[in-house]
Every structure is written in C-alpha cells, then in structure tokens.
Amino acid sequence: NKFFTLAVVPGDGIGPEVTTEALKVLDAVAAQHGVTFERTEYDLGAKRWHATGETLPDAELEEIRKHDAILLGAVGDPSVPSGVLERGLLLKLRFTLDHYVNLRPSKIYPSVGSPLANPGDVDFVVVREGTEGPYVGNGGALRVGTPAEIATEVSVNTAYGVERVVRDAFARAQARPRKKLTLVHKNNVLVYAGHLWKRTVDAVASEFPDVAVDYLHVDAATIFLVTDPARFDVIVTDNLFGDILTDLAAAISGGIGLAASGNINPDRTAPSMFEPVHGSAPDIAGQQKADPTAAILSAALLLEHLGLPAAARAIEAAVEADIEERTGAARSTAEIGDAIAKRAAG
C-alpha cells in the first residue's frame, strides 16, 4: 500500500464544487490501486481574506510544502480587488514552490463537440513557463490616476529560467510519438526576450537531434490553433503567452470545463500543484453548474506525477467513457462527478 499526503486548496467560486468531485474520483481509484491519500484542506481564498486580511501566510505555505502534492480548485472573487488573491495566493504558490513547468495538455475526445468543423487529430501539450515573464511583478506605476500616469510591467526572462523549461519541453517532445517542438514567442517585436528564447531552443536542440523544431510568432500561433490545431505536438512558450494560448486551446478542444493542468517542479524540490486551467467562474458559482471534468483530469495528472500511471489511466478512461455518453442534457457538478467516480472504481 502506497501512502501520500495531499494538500487541498479548494479556493473560491466553483473551486470547492469541482474539487469535491476531483477528490471523490481520486478516492474511487485510490482504493482500487492500493493508494492512500492523507488530505489536509487549507482554508485560503476570498473568505479567509475578508475574515483576516491574509492571502497565504508564510507559515501555512511551509506547511503546504511538506506534502507530496497539492490539489487546487480556483482562486479569485469579484469581492476582492483583482490581483490580490491571484498574486498573493496562486502565484505565490507557483513561484515559491518553483513550478517552472506549467503543463497544459489538450486533446479532442472523438465524441466531444469542438467549435471547429474539422479539427483533425488534436493531441498537444503546452509547456508554459511558470515562474518568470511578465508575471514576476517587475513593474510599477507613477502619477496614478492622473493624465500623466505611467504603468510598467516588465517581463523577466533569465537564461537559467528559459533553459530549464526549454530542456523539459524537449524531453517531453522526445518521449512523444511525433517528436515535435514548437516555440511560440514574438521575437519580431520582443527582441530581447524573444531572441533569448530562440537562441536557447536552437542550442538545446542539438542535444535532441530527433526532435523537429518549429517557431511561430504568437499571433500566428492563434491562427493555427483554430485552422490547423493538429499540427501541434509540444508547444513551449512564456508565462503570459502560455496563459492565453491554453484558454484558446481549451475552447477548441471541448471547452474550458475539460482543460486540466499541472504546475510541475520537475526537480522535485517542492510539491507540484494540480488545478483546472479555468478560474473561479463567479457567474456560475454555487449553482452546481460547473463541469468538474477539468479538476478530475487534473487529479489524473497528479497521480501520473506521483508515479501512479495505472491509476491515472483509470481516471482518464472513466472521463473518456463519460464524455462519450454526454448527450447535452444538463447534469449537476455532483452528478458528473458521481458518474465518473463510479466508472473509475471499475
């Protein structure tokens, strides 16, 4: 029997609703695969902030760090100034735990509707850099609220940070059947960061001679994600481009309710964190309208990361079977979770 500790951060909006279903499914497969999870839930997010003013105290972060993995629902609420929870909780976790690989797979299940008429065989993964870029908070504002206001948000790209994520993306491409890597950037305009990324990819490519390398400017990449998404295998890109591209990727491949992600620390110096690509969806929160599939598939990525591929496959197979039977009739969040958990339990 294998034993793992899991920190659970349900968070805001639909976060708790979808996390409940992910845990339900995780429990169903764990029992079948001789795995036990000891879970600790952390009360973080809007409610906590309103009550105490805290987003993520360092002492609690250090507690979370002691776990084998983290499952997160979603963070952000209209009652809290934009950015407070996103930066103070979610990005603090990603940055402090050095989640430099933000892994976001996209695939079209044969039975699921894509808004594209002929999407083809879509099965790619975005390796989004997770600790640098415009997300680092390297900016400021002058003369705020005046006509002379100046706001800057400077993207930080280090040779160290770019090389480690590029190397990870190459290794992932090499392990996949098509062995193709597409760097997405904007090096025709962002010439400092863009050239660092391009040079790094060209240099690391020599260590992976069997991987075919391709480059697209990010604007053109959005064209191809719609007109020919099947051309992609592994995409490596910076933090902000990866954020935008993966919402688009979700939209073309079954919707945001299916898109899972892993914030991976490949060196395993801290726990990795698994969460849906979507946010807290305040427009449908508390109504049992959210699709928990993305959270459930994030739990599969978690199992894979912990070295439990059979349990991960069990979840994926259960999701695939559930998706195949979707008729379009409305089911509650819990009904979808129940159906998938039942299948996953075998």
Q: Say how far apart CA 193 and CA 186 lie, in whole Å.
A: 9
Annotated ligand binding at 202? The verdict is: no
Please say which residue, 7 or 14, places its beta carbon nearer to ligand NAD: 14
Q: Distance from first CA to last CA of the chain, Å, rounded?
A: 19
Q: Catalytic positions, please?
A: 135, 186, 219, 243, 247
Residue 158 vs residues 107, 129, 131, 193: alpha-carbon distances, Å: 31, 11, 10, 9
Complex with ligand IPM: residue 194 or 276, whichever CB lies closer: 276
Complex with ligand IPM: residue 90 or 225, whichever CB lies closer? 90
322 binds ligand NAD (CB under 6 A): no
Stated as kind and residue range, the H or E segment containing 74 is strand 69-74
Q: Is 341 annotated as a binding residue?
A: no
Distance CA 319, CA 239 (A): 28
Does residue number 54 form part of the binding site for ligand NAD (CB under 6 A)?
A: no
Q: Is residue 45 a contact residue for ligand NAD (CB under 6 A)?
A: no
What is the amino acid identity at position 11? Answer: G
Report phi then psi at 260, rounded to 5.
-105, 160
For position 277 contacting ligand IPM by CB under 6 A, the verdict is yes
- Report the nearest approach of ligand IPM to the CB of residue 233 (Å): 21
The site that binds ligand NAD (CB under 6 A) totals a number of residues, namely 20
- The window from 39-47, 163-171, 206-214, 287-295 that contacts ligand NAD (CB under 6 A) reads 287-295
Per-position x/- string for 78-107, each x denoting binding to ligand IPM as judged by CB under 6 A, each - no binding: --------x---xx----------------
Q: Does 46 sit near ligand NAD (CB under 6 A)?
A: no
Which one of 116, 213, 270, 284 is in contact with ligand NAD (CB under 6 A)? 284
Binding site for Mn ion (CB under 5 A): 243
Buried b (16+ CB within 10 A) or exposed e, 205-233: beebeebebebbbbeebbeebeeebebbb
Gyration radius of the chain over CA positions: 20
Among 9, 46, 74, 339, binds ligand NAD (CB under 6 A): 74
Of 254 and 314, which CB lies nearer to ligand IPM in the complex structure?
Answer: 254
Q: Is residue 247 a known part of a binding site?
A: yes
Q: Which does 242 bind (CB under 5 to 8 A by kind): Mn ion, ligand NAD, ligand IPM, none?
A: none
Helices (H) and strands (E) in the chain, counts: 12, 12
User: Is 344 annotated for ligand binding?
Assistant: no
Long-range contacts of range 111-115, CB-CB < 8 Å, 24 or more positions apart?
A: 111/323, 111/324, 111/326, 112/253, 112/254, 112/255, 112/258, 112/323, 112/326, 113/254, 114/252, 114/253, 114/254, 115/251, 115/252
Residue ranges that bind ligand NAD, judged by CB under 6 A: 14, 18, 74-76, 86, 90, 256-257, 275, 278-284, 290-291, 294
Q: Which residues are annotated as a binding site for NAD(+)?
A: 279-291
